[in-house]
Amino acid sequence: MKEPQNSPLPANDAMDDETTVTSGDAPADGKPCPRQAGRPGRWRVVVRALVLVAVLVLSDVLITLALEPYEAATYLSWINYRENAPAHIDNLIVGASTALEGLDPDTIDESLGTTTFNQGFYGVSYKNVERTMTTIADERDLKRVFVGVSYESLASWPNIYSDAIFAQSKLYGESLPQQASECLEMLLDEQYLYKPTSFVFLAPWTVDNVGTDPVDVGNNIHKRLTLTPKELVATVSDYSEKGYVTHSLSGTIDLDGFASSVPLLPSGSGEEFVQANLDHISRMCAYCQDHGIEIYVIMMPRQDFNVLNLGRSYPEQAIRLQQAVEQAGGTYLDANALDPSVYRAGTDDFVDEQHLNHGGAERFSAVLSKLVSEHESGVDLASLCLPYDQWDGYAAPLAGRICLLQCSATVSGGTLGLEAIPTTGPDTAVEYQVVRVHADGSEEELRGWSADPSFSTRLEGHGSATVRVNVRVQGSDAPYERYWQKDFEY
């Protein structure tokens, strides 16, 4: 008797590769179509895929627990906000590292009698600065927002790795629907969709990890097992109920050492501001305007050489920011444009080439608080600042001053060539001396004081040499005012 065409297969044969099956209409001869040999059944493929995904997810979770730093700064910031932030916040500080380290909540609160919270982040994009502000503004009854910005951050496109880590860290303390929504938004972002970089969001340990040393991995796992997130934050002195505080940033930059150790800084021009960054700031200002919040967008203090090296690019780009802020209803303040009688940052205020140390942050925050009080009493802050169309006036107080010395250097065919590149105030004539510094600290003058910035000398044989270029204002009897020093192999 012929078996019916659609009879079920025996259970133990249902997934056999040699079994014949039919799908849809049978062929004209009524015979079942044989499955292609070696091809697994549909459900077996699905099961295998699910098992593979589960193994990958479990592996990623375990590797993340072991390698991703438990005390990563971005994670600590959101943990600290969720666990320790006061119920009422008057002033919110947001921005990248120059805001994080340069605006001191304690000083602001002492001056204004308020409660300030610093929720800046290292390397954060302006998209996430905006997200930080709107998230906290929706949860707290803010009175003011201080947005600290820098030339470099405004001229930079978002760093997708920092964005991924930020997005993951922000999930802490959020509800499950919020987390699901933000994860989906991140994965569907045009920066990540169908790109290998989306892997960073799923596996942040690939760009931020403790390394593979067993001791470091063990310590990281031990912290996760023994410290709750709130307990972890309590072990880090830079975080408090006011967010990030800068008490640990007590050093002062050695400008000569810095100039000697880095590649030549750009001189005379800088990159244009990215329009998308200005758009995010405009939206932040509009949001605050709509919600009755005062917003101050602050071009954070820079060292004189950093302003001078940007040349005309600084006023040309800064005015774009000023217009974006003011057109959207915000208040703009450029710390570098303030009249020197009001404020001018000094070298001793900085811990490195861009960031204020704790003393510098206290000093600037006190000035900022005073200006905020005056502005809210009717004073026009623009009246205290140098207009960008008169920017040549910025350098006037620097006449006769050497801000920085760098050199370009080449060693070729046994000849060392140097070209001194000083950053000075206007009408500042300088002279140079070249010396060789021996291992015992003694010095050998290779060329006496001269206004010629170029120098070359033969290096005989093979070995190493430490050469220093000193610079001073012509007519000075100082041993030197700035120097540049480098070790050469020949």
Judge whether residue 30 has pLDDT over 60: no
Percent of the chain residues past pLDDT 90, beyond the cut: 59
Percent of the chain residues past pLDDT 70, beyond the cut: 88
**Which range among 116-130, 209-223, 365-379, 443-457 shows the weakest confidence by mean pLDDT?**
209-223
Interacting residues of 338 by C-beta distance below 8 A, sequence separation 6+: 344, 367, 384, 385, 386
pLDDT reported for residue 131: 95
Main-chain phi, psi angles of 460, to 5 degrees = -80, 140
- Span 160-176, pLDDT tens digits: 777 877 887 888 888 88
Burial class of residue 429 in the structure, from the number of CB atoms within 10 Å of its CB (0-12 exposed, 13-18 middle, 19+ buried): exposed
Domain residue extents for the chain: 1-38, 40-68, 70-394, 402-489
Q: How confident is the model at residue 15 (pLDDT cuts 50, 70, 90)?
A: very low
| Mean pLDDT score, 185-197 | 71
pLDDT reported for residue 245: 78
pLDDT reported for residue 75: 74
pLDDT reported for residue 251: 84
Token readout for 345 is 């940052």
Q: How confident is the model at residue 419 (pLDDT cuts 50, 70, 90)?
A: very high
Q: What is the Cα–Cα distance from 453 to 447, expressed in whole angstroms?
A: 11
Q: What is the Cα–Cα distance from 115 to 88, expressed in whole angstroms?
A: 8
| Structural contact between residues 314 and 391, judged by C-beta atoms closer than 8 angstroms | yes
| Mean pLDDT score, 55-61 | 83
Judge whether residue 318 has pLDDT over 90: yes
Candidate CATH numbers 3.40.50.970, 3.40.50.1110, 3.40.109.10, 3.30.450.70; the one for domain 70-394: 3.40.50.1110
pTM of the model: 0.83
Q: What is the Cα–Cα distance from 289 to 273, expressed in whole angstroms?
A: 24
pLDDT reported for residue 406: 95
- Span 260-303, pLDDT tens digits: 888 877 776 789 999 999 999 999 999 999 999 999 999 999 99
Token readout for 247 is 């008490």
pLDDT reported for residue 230: 83
Q: What is the Cα–Cα distance from 131 to 368, expressed in whole angstroms?
A: 24
pLDDT reported for residue 446: 95
Residues paired with 117 in a beta bridge: 92
Q: Do domains 70-394 and 402-489 have the same CATH topology?
A: no
Helix/strand/coil (H, E, C) string of the chain?
CCCCCCCCCCHHHCCCCCCEECCCCCCCCCCCEECCCCCCCHHHHHHHHHHHHHHHHHHHHHHHHHHCCCCCHHHHHHHHHHHHCCCCCCEEEEECHHHHHHCCHHHHHHHHCCCEEECCCCCCCHHHHHHHHHHHHHHCCCCEEEEEECHHHHCCCCCHHHHHHHHHHHCCCCCHHHHHHHHHHHHCCCCCCCCCCHHHHHCHHHCCCCCCCHHHHHHHHHHHHHCCHHHHHHCCCCEECCEECCCCCCCCCCHHHHHHHCCCCCCCCCCCCCHHHHHHHHHHHHHHHHCCCEEEEEECCCCHHHHHHCCCHHHHHHHHHHHHHHHCCCEEEECCCECCCCCCCCHHHECCCCCECHHHHHHHHHHHHHHHHHHCCCCCHHHHECCHHHHHHHCHHHCCCEEEEEEEEEEECCEEEEEEEEEECCCCCEEEEEEEECCCCCEEEEEEEECCCEEEEECCCCCEEEEEEEEEECCCCCCCCEEEEEEEEC
Q: What is the Cα–Cα distance from 242 to 105, expressed in whole angstroms?
A: 6
Burial class of residue 327 in the structure, from the number of CB atoms within 10 Å of its CB (0-12 exposed, 13-18 middle, 19+ buried): exposed
**Which range among 201-215, 307-321, 361-375 shows the weakest confidence by mean pLDDT?**
201-215
| Mean pLDDT score, 364-369 | 98
402-489, CATH topology level: Immunoglobulin-like (2.60.40)
Q: What is the Cα–Cα distance from 109 to 90, expressed in whole angstroms?
A: 9
Judge whether residue 5 has pLDDT over 60: no
Q: How confident is the model at residue 179 (pLDDT cuts 50, 70, 90)?
A: confident
Closest residue by Cα to residue 243 from 401, 101, 394, 46: 101
pLDDT reported for residue 4: 47
pLDDT reported for residue 196: 67
| Mean pLDDT score, 116-140 | 95
- Span 71-100, pLDDT tens digits: 766 678 899 999 999 999 999 999 999 999
- Span 223-250, pLDDT tens digits: 888 888 888 888 877 888 899 876 667 7
Judge whether residue 135 has pLDDT over 80: yes
**Which range among 14-28, 144-158, 283-297, 385-399 shows the weakest confidence by mean pLDDT?**
14-28
